[in-house]
Chains A and B, each alone.
Chain A
Amino acid sequence: MELLAFGKTGWGDELFYATLMTVAVSVTAMIVGFLFALIFTPLKLSKYKTLNFVGNFYTTVIRGVPELLVIYLLFFGGSGAIMYVASIFGYYEYIEINAFITGAVAIGIISGAYSTEVFRGAIQSIDKGQFEAAKVLGISKFVQFYKIIFPQMLRLAIPNLSNVWQITLKDTSLISVTGLVEIMRQSYIAAGSTRDPLFFYSFAAVLYLLLTYISMKLINKLEVKYSRGY
């Protein structure tokens, strides 16, 4: 137990902050993922073949390639790409992106692909009459989406989004390879300096279980809230 003490002697506070970091990265990645889904869901539902292709390309590639490979691509290629863009604007200094942004964007791209599929499925399962009724009433496309389709879509999407959240939360363990100090990285450091990997990795497992358990409880509440009236 003294290994987990707070303060200088134990790893309690370090692991506590690492847990907060895992939560922060997961939440940021989920939001980044939503932004990607917001762009690619309309593309996947589009009537035009080219736009369709772009949407399908994104979800197929990201869901078919290991997460670790995507992380390596961004970790090694991210700053190069940014520097290339910057050089077009006449900036030639070395730019280093911090590990948090690299990690959140990498996991965000992955969770975005899953979110896109969830949103697409949810929109497709909304009754066609809803779209037609909105059209007949002369409601503009914008209002139709935000006031009619989106709220209904959310209700249908929440159970599947909870799966996406679980995947995202677990995927954040992979960005420990880039050196961001989250649960996995902190356990690695602690295991290395105390030579007690069994304890620290098991404790990391417990922390992840705790996070998934708490988020399940919260999502269940959300589900109840959004399905009232059904």
Chain B
Amino acid sequence: MDFDLMITSFPKLLGATVITLKLLLASLFFGLFLGLFFAILRLNKNIFINKFAYGYSYVFRGTPLLVQIFIIYFGLGQIEYLRSTVLWVVLKEPYWCAIIAFTLNTGAYTSEILRSAFQTIKPGIIEAGKSLGISNKIIFYKIQIPIAIRQSLPAYGNEIILMMKGTSLASTVTLMDLTGVAKYIISTTFKPIEVFIVAGGIYLFMTFIIHNVIKYLEKKYSFQQ
């Protein structure tokens, strides 16, 4: 065991954790809206809209995240037309490409989680709202969404942890996130175990915090208080 290496690499890895967290928070933020949007489309009665939303979640859940990042980072740059538009400012940066890929990916999983949460809401609750003369819009925002959030918290907690692990793929498109820096240190020092313990420890610490925050929220929003 090379404890010196562990101590000297710790601040470097901690610095890289900032990028990991930025990627995670940005993609979760955008992914939540995307997921909500597609969950609503899934509940639409129009078969085309419904199938479109299903196709989106099927494709993004059925292919590896690595393929998605590569298509966006390496693939989209190939289209000549895109290079001349404003989008190119965003798409030439690996950072934004990674965020776009993560957002689309987590959006697909989130839409499934939210859809099943909406579907478990008892029809009686919505009917009660209607019979009280509450408008559909308010029923949706004030009754359905809060219940759906409560229902989907445990599954969404898992999704956050999966996404945190997913951000490690940003290292494949030259971003120096926690895994990227860990790989760099391993390949220069050839001491994989020491670096794995430090980097893995940081990841586990983040998992631990996410797990407990979700647990706290679940307790806070539970029906039996």
Contacts and interface: CB of A to CB of B under 8 A. Distances in A.
**Mutual binders A and B:** yes
Interface of A: 60-61, 63-69, 72-73, 76-77, 80, 166, 170-171, 173-174, 176-177, 184, 187-188, 191, 195-198, 201-202, 204-205, 208-209, 212-213
A162 to B, nearest CB: 13
Interface centre among B63, B164, B183 (most CB of A within 10 A): B63
Interface stretch (B33-41, B45-53, B74-82, B85-93): B74-82
A32 B63 CA distance: 23
A66 B161 CA distance: 10
B203 A64 contact: yes
Contact of B67 (A69, A76, A201): A201
Contact of B192 (A65, A76, A184, A202): A76
B114 to A, nearest CB: 19
B64 A197 contact: no
Contacts of A166: 62
A30 to B, nearest CB: 16
B9 interface: no
A65 B71 contact: no
Contact of A176 (B66, B183, B187, B204): B66
For the complex, would chain A's binding face be called helix, strand, loop or mixed by DSSP majority? Answer: helix
Contacts of B68: 205
Interface in B139-161: 161
Contact of B66 (A69, A80, A174, A212): A174
A31 B196 CA distance: 25
Interface centre among A65, A67, A170, A196 (most CB of B within 10 A): A65
B200 interface: yes
B215 interface: no
A170 B64 contact: yes
Contact of A61 (B65, B161, B200): B200
Given A72-B182, A76-B192, A205-B59, A66 B64 contact: no
Interface size class of B (residues with CB under 8 A): 35 or more
8 contacts: A61-B204, A63-B161, A68-B172, A177-B172, A184-B67, A197-B75, A202-B71, A212-B62
A196 B74 CA distance: 9
A174 B171 CA distance: 12
Interface string B204-220: 10011000000000000
Contact of A173 (B66, B76, B204): B66
B27 to A, nearest CB: 15
A64 B75 contact: no
Contacts of B179: 66, 68-69, 72
Contact of A205 (B67, B190, B204): B67
B14 interface: no
Given A61-B204, A66-B179, A72-B182, A213 B75 contact: no
Contacts of B75: 197-198, 201-202
B46 to A, nearest CB: 24
A137 to B, nearest CB: 39
Contacts of B65: 170
B74 to A, nearest CB: 4
A66 B165 contact: yes
Contacts of B59: 205, 209
Contacts of B78: 195-198
B96 interface: no
A7 B59 CA distance: 30
A174 B78 CA distance: 23
